Structure 1
Amino acid sequence: MLAYKSYTDRELLDCLKSGDRAAFAEIYERYWKTMYFHALKMLGDEDDAKDLVQELFASVWARAASIPFNNNLSGYLYITARNKIINLIQQRKVRRDYLSGLAAFAEEASNGTIERIDEKELLLIVEKEIQALPYKMRQVFELSRKQYLSHKEIADELDISDKTVKKQIGYAIRMIKLKLDVLTRVVLLFIFFQ
């Protein structure tokens, strides 16, 4: 591995194209921190920046054979990172616009209409959606919301990382909310056109 430290980017790229894992490890070691701080500056979120950089290097490894031959590996990494950042920002904007639209829709509905939904029925629907989650996600979610365990306690019990616990709970909440949003729309439409 020490020999790779003296390689130029061009030499590392040549080795990488032939599937050399040690060359990839050196590229990763050489550029991870720089790419992370670039992504962090653009995104403003540590977890998003880390995820983006991991995705960047995974794509470098997966597409090693098609990386253009030039002497500017750092330029290639910056451009690829920039494109991934732009895509992520666009996805966030679409998500924000969608949530704003849902909020506007909910505000238009009268409180009396929403009160017609029986609380017990709603709890049964929520429980059904929880049971429909993928097994591991459901397990994490139930330990969090029903047994009131912390992320650390869940991570220790299931032998997974705190970050995985946080992501699984976030995904579960989003999935349940999405199903409930759809259900609420259907119920509201049914009540309005009854």
Structure 2
Amino acid sequence: MKVVSLSTRHSVAPVATSEEAALLRALARDDEQAFAEIYQRYWDELHAHACRKLDCPHEAEEVVQDLFVALWNKRHSAPLIQQLNAYLFTALKYRVIDCLRAQAVRQAHAAAPPTHAADCGTEETVAVADLAAALAASLRRMPNHARAVFQLSRLEHRTVPEIAAHLHVSPKTVEYHLARSLRLLRGCLREFMVSVLLLAMLNA
């Protein structure tokens, strides 16, 4: 779906829970007017926040547009959203982090000596592949509940209440499994980094 900028925008005002819930139910029924209303209410504040973090209006606009496209694509699960404001800004936070990482990678490439550009590219590709494999292995080693909570939290960017509703468990249970999954992940990745450092020392 193509997101078209609306001609009239205004700052976000507090929205009653019942009104938000009605908008989200309408969105789940493919109501484009409900989507347009959410877009109009939240665009300015989301874009301003992204601009402050990214210091680039163009990239900030792309990030926010991507966020709204994702909201439309997941519209059928919209009624599970507890607080629309919190949901949108949490999703924006993770997209901003991804964008900052991409900026850092571009800057690192630009600063790299040109004579080693090809070698660095090859090494980086191998390192990324190795890290992806380590992450996949770490996920496979997690208990089922911890893995499900981790994927919903870190890969789908859902909040604790949303995960609790989705899995039919209490928020405390979600927090427990999330802490457990992160602890297991840190342990597995620590092993991976030790192996990488040893290999680097041997090849030095």
TM-score band, normalised by shorter chain: 0.3 to 0.5
Larger Rg: 1
